[in-house]
Amino acid sequence: MSCKARKETAMRIADAQWIPSTPHQTWDALMDPAVLQKCLPGCVKVERRTPTEYGLSLHASVGGVEAGYEGEVLLSELNPPHSCSLAFEGKSQTACLAIGTAQITLTPKDEGTRLAYTVAAMAGGTLSQLGEPVLMKAGGKLVEKFFGAFIDYMAKQPRTAPPPEPEEPEHGLASSRWSWLAVAVVVLAILGYHTLYK
């Protein structure tokens, strides 16, 4: 039976982890393909294709179903080092399709970082036949293994000072070329009106 002909199963995971590192270092690590490859269970390869697009290959066993996956992750709503959203898709010839979205938020807490996440995913094909309880348990184990490895990695990294905050632009017409552009457009419009119609 084809992937499309089989029932799809949805699941949602929401939780938070404390990371023993600063928000900016945690953010940088989450965006680093080498760190992700090191910490993701069963990961074979992670590559950054563009600043907002990643490709990955991994081998995973979910509910006794072992399969190799080729996936893509697309980042959006980037607000470093505070939050981002992402969409992901994983395909397998045997287990078919897994797609989903996630929201990640980083906030300072107890000399470290609170990483809150919400993941919504849908599985099709052989994976969907396992049922939601099995998928939730398997997904929870994968997340637990990832954060276990990620926390260990971050705990070994020396603390670094955060980069300087970008300077706030000065307010007022004198500091904004767009404000001056708007003024110029208005002036030209008035002059044009008086030249042509007066």
Tokens of 37: 């490859």
Residue 136 lies in a domain: yes
Residues 6+ apart with CB under 8 A from 133: none
Find residue 10's DSSP bridge partners.
Answer: 122
Residues 6+ apart with CB under 8 A from 196: none
Q: What percent of the chain has pLDDT over 90?
A: 51
Residue 81 lies in a domain: yes
Mean pLDDT of 15-37: 97
Residue 188 lies in a domain: no
Residue 124 has pLDDT above 90, yes or no: no
Residue 170 lies in a domain: no
Torsion sign across C-alpha atoms 81, 16, 31, 71:
negative
Residue 169 lies in a domain: no
Residue 177 has pLDDT above 50, yes or no: no
Residue 195 lies in a domain: no
Computed over every residue of the chain, the mean pLDDT equals 80
Question: What is the total count of domains within the chain?
Answer: 1
Mean pLDDT of 97-112: 93
Domain with 129 in it: 9-156
Mean pLDDT of 150-160: 96
Residue 180 lies in a domain: no
Question: What CATH number does residue 23 fall under?
Answer: 3.30.530.20
Residue 1 is predicted with a pLDDT of: 37
Which of 12-26, 125-139, 150-164 shows the lowest per-residue confidence on average (mean pLDDT)? 125-139
Residue 14 lies in a domain: yes
Residue 40 has pLDDT above 60, yes or no: yes
DSSP 20: S
Contact indicator for 157, 138 with CB cutoff of 8 Å: no
Torsion sign across C-alpha atoms 36, 38, 39, 44:
positive
Among the ranges 7-21, 140-154, 164-178, which has the highest mean pLDDT value? 140-154
